[in-house]
Amino acid sequence: MNIFEYYLSEIKNLIIDQKNNLKLKNLDNLENVNLEVPPEEFNFDLSCNISLVLGKSNKLNPKNLALELKNLFENKITYFKVIKVAGPGFLNIKLSKLAIIKNINSILETNQFYGSCKSSEKYNIEFVSANPTGPMHVGHCRGAIYGDVLANLLKFNGNNVVKEYYINDYGNQIKNYVESVFFRIREIKFSEKFPLKENLYPGLYIKQIAKKIIDNNIDVNFDNFEKIFDFLKEKSLHESMKLIKNDLSLLGISHDNFFSETDLVNKDLVNKAIKQLNEKKFIEEGFLQPPKGETNENWKKTKRLIFKSTLFGDDSDRALQKNDGSWTYFANDVAYHMDKINRDYNKLINILGADHTGYIKRITAAVTALSDNKIELNCKVCQLVKLYKNGKPFKMSKRAGEFISAQDLLNEVDKDQIRFMMLSRSNDVELDFDFDKVKEKTKENPVFYVQYAYARINSLHRILNIDLNSKILIDENSFNLNLYEEKILKKIFEWPKIVESVSKKFEIHKISFYLYDLSTLFHSYWSKGNEDKKYKFIENNKIKRDELLIIFKLIIIVIQNAMRILGVSLPKKM
């Protein structure tokens, strides 16, 4: 049960029912009323802003209205034990024992779905989409993990989610990549020196790909690049995608669908998309203005097809054709998004790298135009990752060429550490990844601290031979919590609020923060038992109080649900 949602509904219904008695003429802004977690120093369960919201719209003194509402709520809402007016008119609410027990039972019953925001949208999330010219590098890892966890979150909420990878397997970069493989094949077979040619890929992985192609195609003639290009492109892309899929698998990531840019071109989807936009009168033939910083004298004016993206909030209209008349990368991307729209998704999400921020407005404009403003595209940018070791920027071996590979990162730290730490900051700010911190077995290492909380609770159950799945019955008469248990329970009750907040803005890092806070409360309680016998969990080889079993079970449920979303494992022993 989401207590914030449940009691907010109770409050709103009561206000509507008592509108005349309260002399409230205007309830238009009732949707702005919310229930939040009050500051810790107030020691209350809920905080409501209703007096401020309705006071303003009805020209009433918020504090006076708060006093009226306090009396009304105490008389009409049986689950509210104590209400106090704070500040300019906030209502701080303490729940009754019966309300707390009711919510605990609801959590125990809901279990693996506790916190879920029920929804049934059809999502397409496109993420990673690294150029298939070699293995993944560290810069791809953050977006890959973010996209995967976002998909997990949306599935947790009940949505239908397809994780998609767009393979950029068309254009000059692919030709350069295939040519690089060709020259490595020539180097291996005929001892020819790899040429120092611009735009070729020099990484050692190209040699490994070349050797695999040679070993699997011993009868193929590698004399003429042009004649063998199509064959070699297919084999080279197959090998590079194997590398990428292997890296993703090691990070705990798999995609449901791989969409080929070459297939897009072969199916003539660009012309179909252009025709659709043209029929809607969103395309014109004309001239673009010079880019910023370039003078008119240096700018070659070429007539071409232009998408009127400024009609949809973009800074300027966008070219669909290059100077030679061929389609731009943007035109291909428009066609790709048209295909996604035609696959009947309600929501589209693109996870982009730090260098794609300027691309968001134009592709959002295209989706709006193609879908008649019916399909929402949400683009999330993942900023750069900076690696540190011994307090200094860390440069790992660049065996892959001009970048640090994901495999290099995985050789240093494991999947769980990478996933959790990549989610320890908001996706739109740069992330410092400290190898020393993620290897520590201390409070300074958040992933260890969360996993350790889970392992500690499991150790108690092993010692006491208690089945974690056994049903817990709560006796209302004897049910009492100490201060530490109250704090933990409040944090557990907050979990649905966290899921709701994260689901609205896709701020995945809030889950990591929440888990760390919950684990800190548990570890503090554990440590208190070492200082004061009164707070020890076990006495005479038995659990001291049934309330402890309830608290431990609830912590387990929340940590399991949250870590399942993050895709991080939970060892029972550490």
Q: How do beta strands 80-86 and 46-48 pair?
A: unpaired
Per-residue confidence (pLDDT) for residue 139, from 0 to 100 = 84
Per-residue confidence (pLDDT) for residue 73, from 0 to 100 = 96
d(CA 81, CA 98): 10
Per-residue confidence (pLDDT) for residue 1, from 0 to 100 = 76
E strands in 359-479 = 376-382, 385-389, 392-393, 431-434
123: three-class secondary structure by DSSP? strand
**Domain limits of the chain?**
3-95, 446-566
90: three-class secondary structure by DSSP? strand
- Are 553 and 108 spatial neighbours (Cβ–Cβ below 8 Å)? yes
C-alpha distances in Å from residue 20, one per residue of 9, 16, 23, 62? 19, 9, 5, 17
Is pTM beyond 0.85? Reply is: yes
136: three-class secondary structure by DSSP? coil
Per-residue confidence (pLDDT) for residue 400, from 0 to 100 = 46
As assigned by CATH, the class of the 3-95 domain is alpha beta
63: three-class secondary structure by DSSP? helix
Query: If we measure between CA atoms, which residue out of 439, 317, 324 comes closest to residue 388?
Result: 439
* Residue 394, burial from CB neighbour count under 10 angstroms (0-12, 13-18, 19+): middle
HEC secondary structure over 277-302: HHHCCCEEEECCCCCCCCCCCCCCCC
Per-residue confidence of the chain (574 residues) as pLDDT tens digits? 789 999 999 999 999 999 999 999 999 999 999 999 998 888 899 999 999 999 999 999 999 999 999 999 999 999 999 999 999 999 999 999 999 999 999 999 999 999 999 899 999 999 999 899 989 988 899 999 999 999 999 999 999 999 999 999 999 999 999 999 999 999 999 999 999 888 899 888 999 999 999 999 999 999 999 999 999 999 999 999 999 999 999 999 999 999 999 999 999 999 999 999 999 999 999 877 666 655 666 666 778 899 999 999 999 999 999 888 899 999 999 999 999 999 999 999 999 998 889 999 999 999 999 999 999 999 999 999 998 888 888 775 544 455 678 888 898 899 999 999 999 999 999 999 998 889 899 999 999 999 999 999 999 988 888 877 778 888 888 899 999 999 999 999 999 999 999 999 999 999 999 999 999 999 999 999 889 888 999 888 888 888 999 999 999 999 999 999 999 999 999 8
d(CA 185, CA 568): 41
| Phi, psi angles (nearest 5°) of residue 54 | -75, -30
The edge-to-edge listing of strands for the beta sheet with 283-286 is: 283-286, 304-307, 318-319
The CATH code of domain 446-566 reads 1.10.730.10
- Are 537 and 544 spatial neighbours (Cβ–Cβ below 8 Å)? yes
Q: Token pair of 219, please?
A: 């009868």
Q: Which strand (E) or helix (H) includes residue 139? A: helix 138-156
